[in-house]
Structure 1
Amino acid sequence: MTKATAKKKGGIGETVRTVVYAVLIALVIRTFAYEPFSIPSGSMIPTLLVGDYLFVSKYSYGYSRFSLPFSPPLFDGRVMGDGPERGDVAVFKLPTDNSTDYIKRVVGLPGDRIQVVDGILHINGEPVKREEVADQPDGATATLYRETLPNGVTHLIRERSDHQFYDNTPVYTVPEGHYFMMGDNRDSSQDSRALSRVGYVPYENFVGRAEFIFFSHDGSASLWEIWAWPASVRFGRLLDDVG
């Protein structure tokens, strides 16, 4: 074997090792630290928009089998974590199939009584403070409000009216070990109010807490329209915290 051939084989081997190491590191980061997610629907408008890409911290709530790729049933429950806090925006596995990813806001903790009355969220019998945002978007078909949860977390919600399907609900009592999730786009969100579809979310089903947006586009440019990509990027949303 000539020196040139040996050098070439050595170079190929080094490249393969580098690629393997990079893949392994990426898998470790995705499994134990941060996982990217994209937003496919408008259920979290105005907090999250279709076309947002964000990182979810896997370590925030500890680890369950749903933290791992393909959710292998290696163990039950969670390890090394604290429970979600009221107001967190979190990704979880849909309880009715344990495979579909949903992203909503935590509004109800274990033992809470949750109800919506005339569009206003009530927690344990007390209405949650809701104030209309002074500057509404031009041409808006819905109203923006600033909602303040009992622990002081504030965020924007969107309401088409206070007389939609889920604007008057029965009282939901959150079971122990479960959480009540709602979308910020209140009249266009399938969430824990739909007990047969989503319902109460077990702690084990949480994937992680949404942290920040790393990319966002408005969908106006197709994949092949390279020249139009810059105009489709929402630069003002890049690196925005999710909250």
Structure 2
Amino acid sequence: MRAKVALAVAVIKTKPPGMSSREYAEALAHKLRRQDEERKEKARGLQQELLITRVTLGTKSCTEAADDDGMNTSQELFGPGCSGPDSNSETPDLLLPEPVFIPPPPPGHCGGSLRDVVVPHVSFLQSLCSLLRLKGSSGDTKALTFGSDGFDSDLMLGDTVGHLLDSVVAACSDPPALGPSDLLLQACQVASSSLDMLCSRRRPPVAFRTHVETALRKLTQMLLHSTQPSR
């Protein structure tokens, strides 16, 4: 109770002239809500950028591990001090050792299949973070182009929206591919607002409109033929 009274007194003492205490309190509440939303938006952007960094580093470490495994296999075949069979050797091929059968990597081994899964993740998150950064900059397309001189920022925006829509289509056709559904919902909302922004600037190119219409048509067909509409 004392805190409420102290807050009311503070509002009355600090209110500007010509404004009632109620109006000033509502203005303060609106300002605090806006600041809180901006902090949350910034925190979400930082979390997603951190996720991109972690996924990228994980891909790099897996690739290095796969390269190390290949090097170890080579050393096992030829020995630590041997550089492999000499192509200029006069030794007949019949005297060469029989080739050693190398078993395929176990499931989950770092290799091409893992990269095939990780790359869509990275592309999806990069597109989403770029558009969120654009949204946080009040539509300033320099957030996408980093101020590159002579670069068509609207073209960059269109490409980013197209990549994000393609990722959403891929995720909806294979739900486990890109993670939680709330992230996909956020991607759809960001793509929609970015499309509104792009179309308000100028009429998009025919190729871009065709790209977007194709993606939306695929999503509509999935919704109409889905056995789990609430998914």
TM-score by length of 2: 0.28
- Structure with bigger helix share is 2
The structure with more radius of gyration: 2
TM-score (norm 1): 0.27
